[in-house]
Amino acid sequence: MRVLGVNALFHDPAAALVVNGAVVAAAEEERFSRRKHGHRPVPFAAWELPVEAMRWCLETGGLDVSEVDAVAYSFDPGLARPADQLGLHDPWDHLRLTYAQRAPEFIATALPGLDPAVVRFVPHHVAHAASSALAAPAGDWDVLVLDGRGEASSHLAGHYTDGRLEALAGQRLPHSLGLLYEDATEHLGFLRSSDEFKVMALASYGEPRFAEELRRSVHATEDGGFRTHRVDWSALAKARRPDEPWTQDHADLAASLQLQLEEVLLDLVRWLHGRTGGTRLALAGGVALNCVANTRLLAEGPYDDVWVQPAAGDAGTAMGAALHVSALEGVRTRPMPGADLGRGWTDEEVERALQVARVPYERADVADAVAQCLADDGVVAWFQGRAEYGPRALGRRSLLAHPGHQRNLERLNDVKGREQFRPVAPMVRLERAAEVFSRGPIPSPYMLFVHDVQPEWRDRIPAVVHVDGTARVQTVDVRTEPLLAAMLQGFEDRTGLPAVVNTSLNTAGQPIVDSPRDVLELFGSTPVDLLAIGSFVVRRSWWRR
Ligand SMILES: [Fe+2]
């Protein structure tokens, strides 16, 4: 059974291929098109078919279009209602709906030879739910989905048994935790449905002194759902223009929103646990990218295990829809093998790109060369293996630095052209993680939780310690990540530190690099000291050997 999954409607267009229940390939269209999150959601261009990602998925699976058994589209227009009936102000929503209704024809046009009749609509939140519970390690899972919006709702809570979903609760629009967070993101001067994680980072600088006001508008209900009444943000803090500095009021507003989001999430998971008595919870939807909230759910919620799929946002619904359709057809689905489901390049392809760019390169023991450069306080662009599915760089397309120098946070934010209040994260050897970090789960391979940095380590790795003493950790297991583990070991041998700084390999407003050409462009235009690409290294000419 060969199922192509497609997310194309709100943001983060993406495609995924599931063959006989196993995820073979998955990627966001932005990695090909170089437009971050796809088109901006403006009238007449809010939707985007992931044409290049779809074609690449089929090519990777060695499939002709005629061999695809089903295309799973992560939105079911039959469940949608006109925006005004949903209580949303969205004058262009009917165009989006028309586009979704015609999706089979659009997809067949993009993939000549495809029979439009094989396109199947999957309810948006069912696709999210499957993207987590069916991709998680084997077994039965409770599932909680929270995002901005789907067809007519913003939430789904349920339970998976043997690959079948039983839905237990859902919250109809206009109530939406995701849209609420997006509203606040815009009010705080950031880009909505893109920069929500900046609000989470800003929250660490504030006190939740508006929490009581927010609680009146935003709270859980007794039936597993919640209410998000309109919030007068301006009454709490003045709207910030994107070019203005943020004030303490802005940070306090972010902190208050973050706290109230966490409180509602805790109520929702307690309700779900009360219905199922389950021990394992899978999370998906854009809200599940909030790693601060995820950590509180694990620490204070009733579940022993909380699992978050790395492409928890809408991109992940491409994989979820394909897994869902496979399971519906009686195929036993398999857990996702890791986040590295995107494009990869052979050494021959990499070497060809290096020759075309006419940069001096050498074949090297990459782990050792990188460890030495980092120990000498160089900044490294690390391009290895298949690209990550989802927004986090997890050691495939990463920018690395020494964590022992506080100024490296500023240095990396300068390389990337980012705001200075944003933290960078540590990548740590699994065996040493518990010694350095506490509170969050270990292992934590996908950077979707925050951890406390143990007090005795805060001065040793200051670049990765956020203002509140936390860090968003990625643990590296030598059994699944031998190259990364070797690099970390080499760095530890030289410095005594088991962690390095890891941030995504991109510059401001750009998607993470995907191809050798992308990373060579970045290397050519930023103060990166060493590029480690496949079996090769490229050094700045002045960098010591
Ligand atoms: Fe969604």
* Interatomic CA distance for residues 379 and 399, integer angstroms: 7
| DSSP E strands, 100-152 | 119-121, 141-146
Exposure string of 99-122, with b = 16+ CB inside 10 Å and e = fewer, is: bbeebbebbbebbeebeeebbbbb
CA 472 to chain centre: 13
Measure 237 CA to ligand 1 centroid, in angstroms: 28
The answer to whether the CB of 504 falls within 8 A of the CB of 427 is: no
Measure 312 CA to ligand 1 centroid, in angstroms: 9
Instruction: Quote the Cα angle for 6-51-21, to 5°.
Output: 35
Give, as one character, the DSSP assignment of residue 500: E
Measure 106 CA to ligand 1 centroid, in angstroms: 21
25 Cβ contact partners less than 8 Å away, ≥ 6 residues apart: 16, 17, 56, 57, 60, 61, 341, 342
Measure 407 CA to ligand 1 centroid, in angstroms: 37
Measure 150 CA to ligand 1 centroid, in angstroms: 6
Measure 401 CA to ligand 1 centroid, in angstroms: 34
Return the pLDDT at 42: 64
Measure 143 CA to ligand 1 centroid, in angstroms: 14
Instruction: Quote the Cα angle for 37-42-45, to 5°.
Output: 75
Measure 63 CA to ligand 1 centroid, in angstroms: 28
The answer to whether the CB of 393 falls within 8 A of the CB of 399 is: yes
Distance of CA 226 to CAs 271, 347, 413, Å?
Answer: 11, 52, 37
* Tokens linked to 507: 């510059």
Q: Could you give the residue ranges of the DSSP H alpha helices within 329-394?
A: 347-357, 366-375
Return the pLDDT at 41: 60
Return the pLDDT at 40: 67
Query: Is the omega angle on the peptide bond into residue 516 within 30 degrees of 0, that is, cis?
Result: no
Return the pLDDT at 482: 97
* Tokens linked to 280: 């394992």
Nearest CA to 27 out of 17, 40, 39, 41 is that of 17
Return the pLDDT at 545: 46
Measure 437 CA to ligand 1 centroid, in angstroms: 32
Nearest CA to 536 out of 359, 373, 285, 351 is that of 351
Sign of CA dihedral 504, 505, 511, 515: negative
Sign of CA dihedral 463, 467, 468, 472: negative
Instruction: Quote the Cα angle for 280-283-284, to 5°.
Output: 155
Measure 313 CA to ligand 1 centroid, in angstroms: 6
Measure 263 CA to ligand 1 centroid, in angstroms: 21
Residue 56: how many CB atoms within 10 A of its CB? Answer: 20
Residue whose structure tokens are 């500095």: 245
The CA R_g of the chain, rounded to the nearest whole Å, is 22
Measure 41 CA to ligand 1 centroid, in angstroms: 14
453-474: pLDDT as tens digits: 999 999 999 999 988 899 999 9
Measure 533 CA to ligand 1 centroid, in angstroms: 34
Measure 154 CA to ligand 1 centroid, in angstroms: 8
Upper half-sphere CA count for residue 278 (Cβ side, 13 Å): 23
Measure 178 CA to ligand 1 centroid, in angstroms: 9
Q: Could you give the residue ranges of the DSSP H alpha helices within 230-315?
A: 233-236, 248-276, 291-300
Determine if residue 112 is left, alpha or beta; phi over 0 gives left, psi from -120 to 50 gives alpha, anything else beta: beta
pTM comes to: 0.95
Measure 125 CA to ligand 1 centroid, in angstroms: 7
Measure 153 CA to ligand 1 centroid, in angstroms: 10
Max CA pair span of the chain: 66
334 Cβ contact partners less than 8 Å away, ≥ 6 residues apart: 21, 22, 23, 138
* Tokens linked to 295: 């950590």
Measure 396 CA to ligand 1 centroid, in angstroms: 25
257-302: pLDDT as tens digits: 999 999 999 999 999 999 999 999 999 999 999 999 999 999 999 9
Measure 128 CA to ligand 1 centroid, in angstroms: 7
Residue 142's Cβ-count burial label (10 Å; 0-12, 13-18, 19+) is buried
Measure 318 CA to ligand 1 centroid, in angstroms: 11
Measure 534 CA to ligand 1 centroid, in angstroms: 34
Measure 435 CA to ligand 1 centroid, in angstroms: 37
The residue ranges of the chain whose pLDDT is under 70 are: 40-46, 542-545
Measure 335 CA to ligand 1 centroid, in angstroms: 21
Return the pLDDT at 372: 98
Measure 235 CA to ligand 1 centroid, in angstroms: 29
